[in-house]
A and B are shown apart, each in its own frame.
Chain A
Amino acid sequence: MTAVSPAAGLVESDEPQAESPDFKRNYWVFAVPATVVILAVIVFPWLFTVYMSFHIWEIGGGTTFVWLDNYRQLFADQRFHEALVHTLVFTLLATLIPIVLGTLAALVFHREFRGRGILRTIFVMPMMATPVAIALVWTMMFHPQLGVLNYLLSQVGIPPQAWVYSPSTVIPTLVLVEVWQWTPLVMLIVLGGLAGLPREPYESALIDGANSFQMFVHITFPLLWPFILVALIIRVIDALKVFDTIFVISSGGPGTASETINIFLYLQAFAYYNIGYASAVVVVFFAVIVAISLLMLHVRQKTKWNA
């Protein structure tokens, strides 16, 4: 299987292609069962959420139609603004760091060395392990007094850190967990790119007397760029969506210092039972995610890439 993402297919097939229409006619039938299911469990919830967002909606209680009141309240809500900022800061850090580290890791794992298979498997494990389980273990390691991390730091002469127990370090610490968990995904995607690199440019560069750094900057990196871009898009979307680890490790605390939109929306829905208000959060968040995603797909389409 090639590393070409279906997104490429999607982008390419924007214009309907008219080839042998006789056979193409009834292919849509294959999608009917999935369409029914998707309409029921995916599209319907989207529409229903929009509907609920126009109401004051209590769990098990009555509903009142309030038109745009929830949105008005939301845009004036200081806590929501803060959550938005936390989400963006988190997303930025949790995208850039794994991209850099993951690319470096891919370059390392692209080389042949003894034990590569097993080490790569271990490297990939964090992203496979159940996030809740991981988060709980990290929480134990972050304990400011008894945690193993502060002990290890003390061994190299670094004073104990408060990790998730301080408003100023909680987001960087959560980013740390996210980086640990998802750098492997970037590595895998870039590794896929490295595997498909052509040989010719390097051979001619060698003849021209280029050193390996020059070769990386002028040949490898430009060829890898499309793959890094794919990884970037995936990272941004994933980082925006993170819920499990933050919920388990800090629940948005201390105070509201790490409250991202996802946490805010969960609390509104299932701790304060403001279903209508929470639905408005979902709608706004959904719009943000789709806008960012489409923007990035657009950027990707612009950068020429086709193997």
Chain B
Amino acid sequence: MTTFRISRRRLMQAAAIVPILGAPAIVRRANAQSSFDWKRYAGEKIDVALTKTPRNDYFQSVEHEFTELTGIEVSSEQIPEQQARQKQVIEFASGSPTFDVTNISLAVMKRLAGKGQWLEDLRPMLDDPEQTAPDFDFADISRGGVAFSTQADGRMDTLPCSLDYFLLYYNKELFEQAGVEFPTSMDDIVQVAAKLTKPENNVYGFVSRGLKNANVPVWMNLLFGQDIDALDAGGKLMTDTDEAIWAANLYRTLNKDYAPPGTIGFNWSECQTTFTQGYAAMWLDSTAWARAMEDPAKSRIAGKVGYGVMPAGPKASASAIFAEGIGIARGSKKKGPAWLYLQWYLNKKNQSMLVQTGAGSSARISPFKDPAVIENSPLPRAYFDMLVKSIDIGRPGLPDIIPVTEFRDTFGVALTNMIGGAEAAPELKAATEAFRPILEKSEKA
């Protein structure tokens, strides 16, 4: 029990740190005495386009609760990220999107959404006591998340609905069998992976995304270990510096020498399969997938999973953050009901359940302060300890530029080439040269 208390205290400390991550002007509701009514749009129907994640599996499973609360019918669907992004652009461009509410990947689509004014500014509704539930408690939503979801011109066109952190999942059983300890530094991951790789047993020390585009965040997280970003403060590309090459070499060694054959085509789902079936000892990816770890119907290693904070790099400790927002299409004719859905999506109960079930991290602070969340969770305490430490060292996982897809494709191809055996330095040089004009063009437009 003592250890538990310690971890709870640390959770609270962490929660206190979250607000510092970045603090725009706090939006307040003027009037607490409101005539707010959950049922005012009863009988309406909204369309919701969600990204395919365990988090949204949860939301779909409790959708009926929203209908009971508001009398609004929800027609929702989940679409895999990459298809979702293409669809969103197409539908928003068409002027009449077929959904009222949608998720936006803040790491990939934020600038594009802002430029195209795709989504409704949420601040007026938030300030309107008739529209916003008195117990919504906007101040409980992490300032860092709000900073993520606020556009440069001050419009807040999404609410942050999840902040996910990169971590190093590991298979405790395989570690014990090989008699090795969790790596202490990024370089150490290689040593540990080498000891765990036993191709004759179909077991590999490491797995991470190798698929073009999807693989870039993995490299970015290693890059953060050198305390640099893809772009420096002046907007100059840092992707062919010695630090970037170091990170790419690390990525190359791990995926070329110690990962299962075929990682070159793996996205997170294939990695998850490999890891949960016990064929990989470490998996570098996001907290978003923790839910499947302890589910015996899907995982053969339930109960044996370790949740490691990203080991420190040579110059910094960092965990890549991926934030997703939820917003209302500007072309929607049902903004009122849609706003109720957003409030329900972000209410304390649902956000606590997300954390508790491991379906994703929360954008709210209160779930981390609630001991019941940890106590009732199928996930072990180690998961929450990891989460807290990761929050401390979180860092946006992708650069804040418009052509994120081209960035990920261009450098993604370089990384797959490296898994195939190509040298890191020339690949990165070539990719940087190829991407620079695209970036310049987008900044001009």
Contacts and interface: CB of A to CB of B under 8 A. Distances in A.
Q: Do chains A and B touch in the complex (CB under 8 A)?
A: yes
Interface of A: 59-60, 143-146, 160, 162-167, 250, 253-256, 267, 270-273
Contacts of A143: 262, 270, 273
B262 A272 contact: no
A162 B210 CA distance: 13
Given A59-B89, A60-B93, A253-B212, A145 B279 contact: yes
A162 B90 contact: no
A145 B202 contact: yes
A254 B420 contact: yes
Contact of A256 (B116, B266, B270, B413): B413
B184 interface: no
A224 B108 CA distance: 56
B262 A270 contact: no
Given A145-B260, A160-B261, A167-B264, A270 B86 contact: yes
A164 B89 contact: no
Interface string B263-293: 1111000100110010100000000000000
Contacts of B266: 165
B295 to A, nearest CB: 18
A145 B261 contact: yes
Interface residues of B, number: 35
Interface in B395-445: 403, 405-406, 409, 412-413, 416-417, 419-420
B92 interface: yes
Interface in B194-246: 202, 210-212
Q: Is the interface of B mostly helix, strand, loop or mixed?
A: helix
A149 to B, nearest CB: 12
A100 B261 CA distance: 33
Contacts of B416: 167, 253-255
A176 B419 CA distance: 24
Interface of B: 85-86, 89-90, 92-95, 116, 202, 210-212, 260-266, 270, 273-274, 277, 279, 403, 405-406, 409, 412-413, 416-417, 419-420
Given A143-B270, A272-B405, A272-B406, A164 B86 contact: no
A271 B417 CA distance: 21
A22 B263 CA distance: 71
A139 B413 CA distance: 21
Given A254-B212, A255-B212, A144 B260 contact: yes
A271 B279 CA distance: 33
B257 to A, nearest CB: 15
A165 B265 contact: yes
Contacts of B263: 165
Contact of A144 (B116, B261, B420): B261
Contacts of A59: 89-90, 93
Contacts of A250: 265
7 contacts: A144-B262, A145-B202, A145-B279, A146-B273, A270-B86, A271-B85, A272-B405
A60 B260 contact: no
A142 to B, nearest CB: 8
A162 B421 CA distance: 15
Shortest Cβ-Cβ A-B pairs, 8 listed: A144-B262, A165-B262, A60-B93, A255-B416, A165-B265, A254-B264, A59-B93, A255-B413
B153 to A, nearest CB: 18
Nearest to A164: B265
Nearest to B86: A270
B89 A273 contact: yes
B261 A165 contact: yes
Contacts of B274: 145
Given A59-B89, A254-B212, A145 B405 contact: no
Contacts of B92: 60
User: A145, A146, A272: which has the most chain B beta carbons within 10 Å?
Assistant: A145
Contacts of A146: 273, 277
A255 B405 CA distance: 14
B86 A271 contact: yes
A145 B406 CA distance: 30
B417 A255 contact: yes
A272 B416 CA distance: 20
A143 B413 CA distance: 21
B236 to A, nearest CB: 23
A250 B262 CA distance: 12
B6 to A, nearest CB: 39
B265 A254 contact: yes
A271 B412 CA distance: 15
Contacts of B403: 272
B437 to A, nearest CB: 10
A255 B420 contact: yes
Nearest to B116: A60
A129 to B, nearest CB: 22
Nearest to A144: B262
Contacts of A267: 409
A145 B262 contact: yes
Given A145-B260, A254-B419, 6 more contacts: A165-B262, A167-B416, A254-B416, A255-B212, A255-B416, A271-B85
A59 B86 CA distance: 11
B405 A253 contact: no
Contacts of A166: 261-262, 264, 420
